[in-house]
Each structure stands twice: as structure tokens, then as C-alpha cells.
């Protein structure tokens, strides 16, 4: 039986309903493998937490950036609540140590684990909301996720790197970028890709990720830096 007391100390949020806290960490695969458990998986809590998260982030961005238009605020929000950022925040919060997964899922440390962690973060937000209300859920999001806002804005991570680099490469060089997998490593459940971005025959930059899409975005981001196209 997992003891959540250390996690509660770390977050500063003590649950009245410990079963609700546990449910936030239960993946569907755990229920499928442990059919005798009386617990439920976390997908309903995730549904609720997703809505709470979106409201908290939207309210924060609306107040923080009064001169940004709707499109810019939407792009910023999307960058903040995407699965990669949320999974990193979940890891920083220590959630990975408390996941209740099937034996198969527990071995998978690749992209699937990222999504499980991101979903668990949202389920936890939903559980906090149910157990102690909006203010506590807002406090947790404010302390764990929102500090990443400045980095996202300063590095312009809210703009889609692939779209921007294509726009700039066509403007300055009249070429459309091409992406090529330079190498891949790891077992099927934990692949790592290294992708190069080319303007014609010229290799401009490389990026690494747990999927081809993620590696392409990283490569595009690096190309923007190389070409000094971020401003």
C-alpha cells in the first residue's frame, strides 16, 4: 500500500479523503490487473482537473498579459498545458513515485509515461478541487506550473517552432525545411530520436526527443536560434 504522507508534506495539501487522493494516481491498467480492488481509475478526476487547470491558467494569463490578444493568449495557454510541460512538472512534484500502474505500464518510461504523468497531474488537480476547493487547486497550480510561464515567454516556446522556421526559411531562402532522422536508440517502449533539419542539402540543426514529432520541434527550435530568428 502506497503511503502518500510524504507527498502531502511536499505539496502542503493534506487530504481529508485519502481514497480520493489515491484515486488520482490510479491508472486504468492497474484496475485491469487488480480486479479485486475497490478503487476506481483516475479518468473522471482527470476530466474535472483539466477544466480547473484551464480556468486557472486562463485567468492567470489574462491578468498577467493585458496587452496580448486572444490568439496570443491561446498559444501561451497551449504551451503551458501541453503534455510535455505538464509531465515535467508532475515529475518535479514527485508524482512518478506514487503512480499505480500495471506491471507492463510500470516498465514503460518513454512517451507513454509522459502522458500518464500529465494525466495524473490533471487528476490530482481534480482531486484537490473535490477535497478542499478551488483555492487549494489554484494554489497548487500556481506554485507548480505557473513559474514556467516566464521561460516559455522568454524563449518564445509558445510559438510553434516548425511553423515559424518554415515561414522564415521560405522568406529568407525560398526553401521548405526537410527533417531527417539521424539516429534512433532504445527499446520500442522507450525510443529516443535524433532528427536533423535541412535547408536544401545544408544541415542547420539537430534536436532530440522521445518521438519523431518532439525531435522535429526541438530541431526547428534550434534552427531558429542558429539563424537568430526568434525576435
User: What tens digit of pLDDT does each residue of 12-53 get?
Assistant: 999 999 999 999 999 999 888 887 888 899 999 999 999 999
pLDDT at 223: 93
36 domain residue, yes or no:
yes
Q: Does one domain contain both 17 and 109?
A: yes
173 domain residue, yes or no:
yes
Other CB atoms within a 10 A radius of the CB of residue 152 amount to 17
Tell me the residue range of the domain where 95 lies. 5-154
Q: Is 186 helix (H, G, I), strand (E, B) or coil?
A: coil
CB 179, CB 161: distance < 8 Å? no
Q: Does one domain contain both 184 and 127?
A: no
Q: Is 157 helix (H, G, I), strand (E, B) or coil?
A: coil
Q: Does one domain contain both 129 and 221?
A: no
Residue at which a domain ends, from 154, 178, 212 = 154
**Cβ neighbours for 149, distance < 8 A, ≥ 6 positions apart:** 60, 61, 64, 76, 80
24 domain residue, yes or no:
yes
Mean predicted confidence (pLDDT) in 106-128: 86
19 domain residue, yes or no:
yes
* Whether the predicted model's global pTM rises above the 0.85 cut: no
CB 126, CB 45: distance < 8 Å? yes
Q: Which residues are known to be catalytic?
A: 50, 122
Q: How far apart are CA 153 and CA 105, in angstroms?
A: 34
231 domain residue, yes or no:
no
Q: Does one domain contain both 138 and 209?
A: no
Residue at which a domain ends, from 132, 154, 176 = 154
165 domain residue, yes or no:
yes
Residue at which a domain ends, from 127, 154, 181 = 154
Q: How many domains does the chain have?
A: 2
- Which of the four pLDDT bands, split at 50, 70 and 90, describes residue 156? low
211 domain residue, yes or no:
yes
Q: Does one domain contain both 184 and 142?
A: no
pLDDT at 231: 60
Amino acid at each position: 500500500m502506497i503511503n502518500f504522507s510524504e507527498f502531502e508534506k511536499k505539496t502542503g495539501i493534506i487530504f481529508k479523503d485519502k481514497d480520493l487522493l489515491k484515486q488520482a494516481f490510479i491508472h486504468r491498467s492497474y484496475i485491469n490487473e487488480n480486479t479485486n480492488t475497490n478503487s476506481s481509475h483516475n479518468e473522471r478526476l482527470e476530466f474535472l482537473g483539466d477544466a480547473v487547470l484551464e480556468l486557472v491558467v486562463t485567468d492567470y494569463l489574462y491578468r498577467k498579459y493585458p496587452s496580448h490578444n486572444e490568439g496570443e493568449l491561446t498559444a501561451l495557454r497551449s504551451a503551458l498545458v501541453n503534455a510535455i510541460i505538464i509531465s515535467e512538472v508532475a515529475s518535479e512534484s514527485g508524482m512518478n513515485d506514487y503512480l499505480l500502474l500495471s506491471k507492463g505500464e510500470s516498465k514503460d518510461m518513454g512517451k507513454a509515461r509522459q502522458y500518464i504523468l500529465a494525466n495524473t497531474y490533471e487528476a490530482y488537480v481534480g482531486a484537490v478541487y473535490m477535497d478542499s476547493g478551488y483555492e487549494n487547486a489554484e494554489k497548487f497550480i500556481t506554485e507548480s506550473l505557473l513559474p514556467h510561464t516566464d521561460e516559455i515567454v522568454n524563449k518564445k516556446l509558445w510559438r510553434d517552432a516548425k511553423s515559424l522556421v518554415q515561414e522564415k526559411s521560405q522568406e529568407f531562402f525560398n526553401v521548405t525545411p526537410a527533417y531527417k532522422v539521424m539516429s534512433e536508440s532504445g527499446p520500442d517502449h522507450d525510443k529516443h530520436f535524433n532528427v536533423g533539419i535541412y535547408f536544401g542539402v545544408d544541415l542547420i540543426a539537430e534536436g532530440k526527443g522521445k518521438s519523431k514529432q518532439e525531435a522535429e520541434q526541438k530541431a526547428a527550435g534550434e534552427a531558429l536560434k542558429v539563424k537568430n530568428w526568434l525576435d
